[in-house]
Structure 1
Amino acid sequence: MIEFNATFIVAMLSFVLFIMIMNAIFYKPVLNIMRKREEYINSNYQEAKEFSQRAEEFNTQRNEKIKETQAKCRIDIKNIVEAAQTDANSKTSEAREDAKAKIQAKKDALNVEEQNLKNTVKSTVVNDLASSITSKLLGQEVKPQSVNYEIVNKVMD
């Protein structure tokens, strides 16, 4: 069995004293260093988490702004294209109407010219024919002013 003598008690006291000294000199500082290191690691981990969350929020905001800007640009481009197309259509319509008006004016001018030419040809032909017929019938020369143009126009039309 275990004998309790003075050596045993001294050994026990020496062991307890050794534990107390080791605790004061070695274990407490090592535990303190380990605790500080764990706190440092935890704080860095928390900061990294916060930075990661902030970066995610920033990326989300950036992506939203990009989408908004792209949507605005699409709308602006659509509006510009529509305005340009409307302008082109109106200019085309104006040009078409202007061309129609010019064509109609030219047609009217040609019709007037044609009518004038017809009248000139009629009067010339009628005068010549009337002069020639009357001079052959009567045997004398007749002036073209005495021809009845109403009858001639009815015959010519």
Structure 2
Amino acid sequence: MPSNCANCGVGFSVEPEETEWLAANGKDGPSLCPRCRAFKTGLQDESITCTVCGRVFIFPRELRLFSRMFSWPRPRRCLGGCKRQGPPLTEVESHMADFLRRMRTARRTAGLSRFALQNVASSSLTQRPPALRSEDSGGAPQLGGSLAQALKEFQEKKRRRQ
């Protein structure tokens, strides 16, 4: 069931495994997104060195929250699977990787929908500022304008310098 975080306003949905855990432990559904709940409990991202490939990977705070909730052990291998072929993921490791994939997808979707809503609201309620042009104000660039136009001007200036 999707809802919005009471702290940051980001849309989030409660995972089915979490719903089962909440029901089994007699707790209410969360009003905060996993990221805000992790911040509230003081969890931080953790850097871990993979035992298979030797690369450092990040164990995100949200996943640490769920690991603590479900009593999962701290991962020792890359969560998405190592670049090198190692032994297959254990059941818990594949569960963590699946959780991480779902959280990232939900975060991207929430971010894109919030971005789209902000753009629709800003374009329908206010006038868009004029494009960023340095010639309009005697050489001084104006505030506002499109990012694409600013990037285009930057690239043109860079080409002229070469």
Same fold by TM (over 0.5)?
Answer: no
TM-score of the superposition, structure 1-length normalised? 0.24
TM-score of the superposition, structure 2-length normalised? 0.23
Structure index of larger Rg: 1
Higher-RCO chain (CA-CA 8 Å, sequence separation at least 6)? 2
Structure 1 or 2: more strand by fraction = 2
